[in-house]
Amino acid sequence: MKLEPTAKPLPERSTERVWQWLLGLRSGSDARCAELVPDPVTQREQACIDLYEEFARRSGSRRCVVAHLGQSVDGYVATGSGDSCFVTGAENLDHLHRMRALADAIVVGAGTLEADDPALTTRRVTGPNPTRVVLAGRRPLRASHRLFTDAAAPTLIVCSGSNVVSGATHGNAQVLRLRGDDARIDPALLIDALAERGLQHLFVEGGGAVASSFLRAGVLDRLQLAIAPVMIGSGRRGISAPAHERMLDCLRPQHRLYRMGADLLFDYDLRAPQPGGPDRESALQRLR
């Protein structure tokens, strides 16, 4: 039996004309740049379109929320000390920067901020910087973080309940306070608050706890898991899905699979019906 690879090839930099078309979609100028994508397109160009078009396309008040995690094959995003540089390879980093460029805002937790001090700007590809959104935890956030000092993009710190961030600003960042008494950020309230500011296409980049909270809240349109061929053994866990007693009830979303260098990206469509539909249980019964 001959085994064929099922993963679509990585959208490489050779797809520059498609990338310029996608940036046109993001800016709402689809018609102006339509000539950049001739027919037919190459296999790599089609893979690029499949992966990014939905997130790039703007349509009225439509919202789109996508989360991404890069994790080891045994399910960790970092070692016990918090070291995550780098779980996935250069090709997946290019993908992250493409998603940043297409997003209105990028969302991270305070833990990611403390561990990595990220810039969260678009540097590896052409495209704009998104608004940077930090979900404040219970510990103080140092005003010396790059996000709060570099003025490279608008930055928001989101607080709720007993969060410890005080004042209306923190360095160059504005403080956005959500209603509620719990210090944990309600993803649905956050999405509504950001939409009121015109930020409707959100990219949740980390960490594992934040991405998992959005998944459990049922507010994600897509979930992207990049699996790297490395075993960390112990450390900070990646995605945590809602628990079920029966395999029949577990999440099994439709997905596309992309090869990014040595990594595999599972691009899950969480809005599509799960394979099998309502008759899946009766079909399984017939197989037993």
pLDDT in tens, 37-88: 667 788 888 999 999 999 999 888 889 999 999 999 999 988 887 777 789 9
What is the spatial distance between Cα 41 and Cα 62, in angstroms, rounded to a whole number?
27
Task: Give the CA angle between residues 172, 107, 168 to the nearest 5°.
Answer: 35
CB atoms within 10 A of CB 282: 9
What is the spatial distance between Cα 258 and Cα 110, in angstroms, rounded to a whole number?
30
CATH class of 62-240+252-271: alpha beta
pLDDT-derived band at 96, boundaries 50, 70, 90: very high
pLDDT value for 242: 86
What is the spatial distance between Cα 202 and Cα 183, in angstroms, rounded to a whole number?
21
Range list for CATH 3.40.430.10 in the chain:
62-240+252-271
177 three-class SS: strand
Task: Please tell me the total number of residues recorded for the chain in this structure.
Answer: 288
pLDDT-derived band at 287, boundaries 50, 70, 90: very low
Intra-chain end-to-end CA distance of the chain, in Å: 27
pLDDT value for 286: 46
What is the spatial distance between Cα 102 and Cα 81, in angstroms, rounded to a whole number?
32
Asked if 118 and 141 touch (Cβ cutoff 8 Å), the reply is no
3-state helix, strand, coil in the chain (%, to 5): 30, 25, 45
224 three-class SS: strand
Question: The whole model's pTM is what?
Answer: 0.89
pLDDT in tens, 142-187: 888 999 999 999 999 999 877 777 778 888 999 999 987 777 899 9
Higher pLDDT: 129 or 13? It is 129
Q: How far is CA 194 from CA 32, 124, 142, 156, 219, in A?
A: 28, 26, 23, 10, 14
What average pLDDT does range 118-124 have in this prediction? Answer: 94
